[in-house]
Amino acid sequence: MTDSIKSILNLSALPKAMLEHIPVVCTGRFKPKAPGPLTPFHSWQTVPSPLTRNGMRFKVVTDAELVPTALIGDFNIPNATVGQNAELGHSCYAANLVALDLFKTFLAKHGVPRDALNLLSVEDMQANSATITYLVPVPAGRDAQSILGEIAHRFEQFFPVIKPKNDSKAKTKKPQYGGSTVGSKGSRTAYLRQRGFNIRAYSSPIDTIEGDPNDPVHQSRIAFVRNVVRIELTLTVERLRKHQLQPATAWATAHPDDVYENLFNEYVREKGLRLHERLRTDKPKETDLAKLSDVNRHIVEGYLAGKDLAGCELLKRSSKLAVQKAKSAAARAIFKLLRIDINIPWAEHRKLGNTWMEKVIVYPGDHHPPAERVSTSFCQANLPALQAQLQIELERQLALQSGDGNVDPDTGEVLAE
C-alpha cells in the first residue's frame, strides 16, 4: 500500500575515497541563515529504473566542499518495479528495502565498488515523505463516483479555500484547502491539502492501465480497479517525525502494530472527513437550544435562519483577532452541545450527516492480489522476486565496473572468455 516515497540515504558509512565516484550536480550556492560558508544548491538527476525504464529522481547532497554526505531518492516504487500502480499492496518498509537496492544500483553505475556498497543498509535510510495508498472497496449498491462526490463535498465544506492575506509572509505559505476536480470523462478527484499531510481520493483511470484488452488477467485487474476508491495519504517529514516514523526501520513492524490503520483513522476518517463527529442534520429542538447561553442561542438562531455571522452584533469586538477568538469560542461551545459547526452554512451542514460514509470509508487492510496478478503488482508475495531482479541488475553494474561487457543477462555475473 505504498506508492511514492522520498528517502534519504546517509553516506557517512562510505570511505571518503569512494565518495569521489558519486556525481554531484551543484547549480549554485546560497547564503545560510546562520553565519558560515555558502551552502551548495543541488539539482535532481532523472534516471530510468533498471526494471521498467520509468523515471526516478536522485539528488546528491554535499557539504560546503562538495563532498557527498547523503543521497536523496524520489521514487514511485510500483512504477519503478512493475510498471503500474493501479493495483498495489505492501508497506513502507518494503518500499525502503527496494529503494535501498535502487540507491545501490545508482551508486554502482557510477563506480562505487561492492565493498563500499556492502557498508550501506536500511538502517542508514530515513523518509522525507511517504504516500500510503489505501484501496477502499466500493460496496454493493454504491459506485465509486458517488463516494468520491461525498468525499469532495466534505473536503470543500470543512476546508474552504481562504484567500491569502496581502502580506509577504502569508503569500509564501502554501495554501491549505479542500476541493475537487472533474476530468474530461467525468471522473472526480477529491483532494485536501493541510499542514503536514495531503489526501487525494480518486478512481484510477482505466485507460492508463497498460495491458492486452483480451488478456483475462488484465480484464480481472480492470474489474478490480473499477470497484475500489483509491485514497492516497501523503505525510511530510514533520508528521513522520511526530509519529516516530522517519527512520526506515521504524516501519518494520508497522502492520502488526496497526500503524497503517491508525494513520488512516486519524488523517482520513477524523482530520479529513470528520466521520467521528456525526454532525447534526436536523434542526435542534427547544430543549436542545435551552442548554445554550443566551448569546450562543442568539447566534444559533441567526445561523439556522441563514444569516451571515459576520454581521452578528454579539460577535463584534475591537479588533479582527478579538472577533475571531469570540467566534471560535462560541463555535466550540455550540458544537459541544449541538454537534453543529457554525462555520459551515446550515444548508450544507444538513448534507454532512451521511452515516453510510462511516461504514464505507473504513480501513481496508493490506491488499493481496490474486496469484495470477502477483507478478505484475508491487505486493508482499512479489517482493522476493523483485529483490532478486534488482540484485541481478546490481551485479550487472558491478561486473561492468571492471570494463568487461560480457555479462550474463540472467545473473549479472561476468562470463568467462
Q: Which residues contact 94 (CB under 8 A, 6 or more apart)?
A: 2, 380, 383
Q: Are residues 34 and 152 in the same domain?
A: yes
Total structural domains in the chain? 2
Q: Which residues contact 72 (CB under 8 A, 6 or more apart)?
A: 6, 7, 8, 9, 58, 59, 60, 61, 128
Q: Model-level pTM? A: 0.88
Q: Are residues 116 and 236 in the same domain?
A: yes
Query: CA angle, corner 249, sides to 56 and 85, nearest 5?
Result: 35
User: Does residue 413 lie in a domain region?
Assistant: no
User: Does residue 28 lie in a domain region?
Assistant: yes
Q: Are residues 215 and 134 in the same domain?
A: yes
Q: Are residues 284 and 265 in the same domain?
A: no
Q: Residue 304 and residue 215: Cα distance in Å, rounded? A: 57
User: Does residue 224 lie in a domain region?
Assistant: yes
Q: Residue 351 and residue 243: Cα distance in Å, rounded? A: 33
Q: Are residues 289 and 205 in the same domain?
A: no
Q: Are residues 243 and 283 in the same domain?
A: no
Boundaries of domain holding 68:
2-275+360-400
Q: Which residues contact 346 (CB under 8 A, 6 or more apart)?
A: 303, 304, 306, 340
pLDDT per residue rounded down to tens, the chain (417 residues): 577 999 999 999 999 888 888 888 776 666 566 666 667 778 899 999 999 999 999 999 998 888 899 999 999 999 999 999 999 997 899 999 999 999 999 999 999 999 999 999 999 999 999 999 999 999 998 999 999 999 999 999 999 876 555 555 545 455 678 888 888 677 899 999 999 999 999 999 888 888 899 999 999 999 999 999 999 999 999 999 999 999 999 999 999 999 999 999 999 999 999 999 889 999 999 999 999 999 999 999 999 999 888 778 888 888 888 888 988 999 999 999 999 999 999 999 998 876 789 999 999 999 999 999 999 999 999 999 999 999 999 999 999 987 755 555 555 555 555
Q: Are residues 220 and 301 in the same domain?
A: no
Q: Are residues 327 and 377 in the same domain?
A: no
Q: Are residues 70 and 120 in the same domain?
A: yes
User: Does residue 137 lie in a domain region?
Assistant: yes
Q: Are residues 270 and 291 in the same domain?
A: no
User: Does residue 414 lie in a domain region?
Assistant: no
